[in-house]
Structure 1
Amino acid sequence: MKRLLFTIQSYTYLVPAFLAAGDFEPGDVEHKVFPDGERYLRVATDCWGRDVTLLGGTPNDLDWLELYDLGYAISRAGARSLSIIIPYFGYATMERAVKPGEVVTAKTRAHLVSAIPSCEGGNRVFLFDLHTDGIAYYFDDSHVTRHVYGAPLICEAVKALMGDRPYVLAATDAGRAKWVQSLARDLGVEPAFVYKERREGGLGVTGVNADVAGREVVIYDDMIRTGGSLVQAARAYRAAGATKVHAVTSHLVLPGESLEKIRASGEITTLIGTDSHPGSQKLASTPGALCSVAPLLARALEPA
């Protein structure tokens, strides 16, 4: 029997890709919003004894609540097992407290999902390219977690972009250097990163650690939000002699007018990434800009 596939509203754009990538049967959810703002949800497909997959990243608080509400309802409806796929984990950068009293929101949200009752066959949580590996351990032991790394997707995207042209794989700063070094080894290219120091008004670039003169540079970062760090790094690589700067990311968040600002900077020749976040759909009409996480995450559900 096929797995039942449910999704939260903000991730319906990924459903066709998941149906094409795996042996799923789409499940129905009824949604209503009352005049006072309260929401009505009903799992309209019978889950009794079924293996169920719930798809939903968590870019905002409403998404977190919808994921929890649906997961709870599916479990209480008698699903045999529940696999929760979170392509983008919101609040991933709030994974530790710096000042006394700060809320470690990545941990509190993991506890929220962990409160979904366990099904007879167990609950599993699949996470994609987390900002920090340790977030996977914030979930309760009743929920088995698996961190699915996006390196294969990123490498394929970079190879498709660059073809046979020589290039350097770069980071926005030394903090992401380890990730870039690992990807650079997989791709067989040289890594690079920029040095930064704290100055009045914020961080400033002080130099580049590799020779990029006369070469194309591909910057990798795990997520692109406002694009400020990306544009600053691209400017540094261009100043060091790079002929072109491209950017690839696991999560295209792109809030507000950030995409327009990145393009207006003139520093980034090409911007590509995965479809893990709804913000990625701003690039859906750009040929070759997106690679889907669906095949990778659908395979992760299957036994080894």
Structure 2
Amino acid sequence: MKKLLFTISAYRYLETAFLATGDYDRGELHQEPFPDGEIYRRVVDDAWGRDVVLLGGTPTDADWLELYDFGSAISRAGARSLSIVMPYFGYSTMERAVKPGEVVTAKTRARLISSIPPCEGGTRTFLFDLHTDGIEFYFSDSHTTHHVYGAPIVTEAIASIASGKDFVLGATDAGRAKWVESLARSMHCEPAFVYKRRDPTSGDLTVTGVNADVKGKCVVIYDDMIRTGGSLLQAAEAYKSAGATEVHAMASHLVLPGDALDRLNESGLVASVNGTDSHPRSQAALAAGGHVVSVAGLLAREVGRS
């Protein structure tokens, strides 16, 4: 029997690609808001005895609650097993406390998902390209977590973007250099990163140089996520000043809040904004002409292995 796939509302755009793998029946979820702001939710298709996959990342607080509510309902409905597939884990940059009293939100949200009642055949959570590896260990032992690395599809996308060009794989700063160096080795190309200095008075970061020779070359800047794009634009300007012929951006997660995508595309510094479809805002990048590769096949294969 095929697995039964349910998808939260924010990730309906990814549902078709998952169904296309041929391993799933489509399940229906219903929800509607009440005038007082409360939301009615119902799992329409019978999950009893089924191996269920619940697809949904968590870009917003509303997505977190929807995923939790439906996950709990599916478990209580008698699903044999439940695989929660989270292409994007919100609050991943809030993985540690710096100041007294700060909430480590990545951990509290992992606890929330961990409180979904376990199924008889197991409850598994699949996470994609986490900002920090340790987040997968924030979940309780009642859930088995799988951190799925996006390197296979990220490098494929980078190769397509830079096809036929002499290119360098760049990082926004030295902090991401180790991961970029790993990807560059697998692609047999040179890595690069920019040096930054923090102003002791204002705390602002300024670029002071580039570690590699990028003159006459195409630079593809990789980062795990692009949010406002400020660091990306700083790095792109540094690479262009160092002689790069063109600069492209590639990210595992295209978060791009507000007008971030427009600012990047209109900057004159970045030739294209590319990434995976792990986040709903990736669809805006795709519509703007970016190269967007789907995470569906990679995540579906990992679910199939379980």
Q: TM-score range by the shorter chain?
A: over 0.9
Amino acid of the structure 2 residue aligned with 1:196: K
Partner of 1:89: 89
Partner of 1:10: 10
Q: 1:26 aligns to what?
A: 26
Name which of structure 1's ranges 41-50 and 22-31 shifts more when overlaid on structure 2. 22-31
Rate the CA distance shift 1:235–1:152 in 2: closer, same or farther, 3 A: same
Aligned: 1:213 with 2:215? yes
SS at match of 1:276: coil
* Secondary structure of residue in 2 paired with 1:64: helix
CA positional deviation for 1:118: 0.4
SS in 1 for 2:164: coil
Deviation of 1:285 after TM superposition, in Å, equals 2.5
Contact conserved, 1:22 with 1:298, CA < 8 A, in 2? no
For the pair 1:76 / 2:76, whether they are aligned, the reply is: yes
Where in structure 2 are there 5+ consecutive unaligned residues?
none
1:116 aligns to 2:116 (yes or no) = yes
State the distance in 2 between where 1:22 and 1:261 align.
39
Farther-moved stretch of structure 1 (258-267 vs 75-84)? 258-267
| Corresponding residue for residue 166 of structure 2 | 166
**Matches of 1:179 and 1:201, distance apart in 2:** 25
Give the number of aligned pairs. Answer: 304
Residue 97 of structure 1 and its aligned partner are, at CA, apart by 0.2
Give the % identical residues.
66
Q: Deviations over 1:96-136 (max 9, x none)?
A: 00001100000000000000000000100000000000000
In structure 2, the partner of 1:130 is 130
* 2:49 matched residue in structure 1: 49
Q: What's the counterpart of residue 250 of structure 2? A: 248
Q: 1:197 corresponds to which residue?
A: 197
How far apart are the structure 2 equivalents of 1:288 and 1:227?
Answer: 15
Contact 2:265 2:273 in 1 (8 A): no
From 219, 236, 239, the equivalent of 2:238 is 236
| TM-score w.r.t. length of structure 1 | 0.98
Per-residue CA deviation, residues 53-85 of structure 1 (Å, 9 max, x unaligned), is 000000010100000000000000000000000
CA distance in 1, matches of 2:289, 2:296: 18
Deviation of 1:178 after TM superposition, in Å, equals 0.7
Report if the CA contact (8 A) 2:161-2:291 is conserved.
Answer: no
Residue of structure 1 equivalent to 2:155: 155
Amino acid at match of 1:132: T
In 2, Cα distance between equivalents of 1:215 and 1:128: 31
Q: Which residue of 2 aligns with 1:298?
A: 300
Question: What per-residue deviation string (whole Å, max 9, x for no partner) do you get for residues 194-214 of structure 1?
Answer: 011112351110111001111
Greater alpha carbon shift after TM alignment, 74-83 vs 239-248: 239-248
SS in 2 for 1:267: coil
The alignment's TM-score, normalised by the length of structure 2, stands at 0.98
Alpha-carbon distance in structure 2 between the residues aligned to 1:215 and 1:287: 22
CA RMSD, 1 decimal: 1.0
The amino acid of 1:219's aligned partner reads: I
Residue 176 of structure 2 corresponds to residue 176 of structure 1: yes
Q: Give the conservation status (yes or no) of the 8 Å contact 1:22–1:295.
A: no
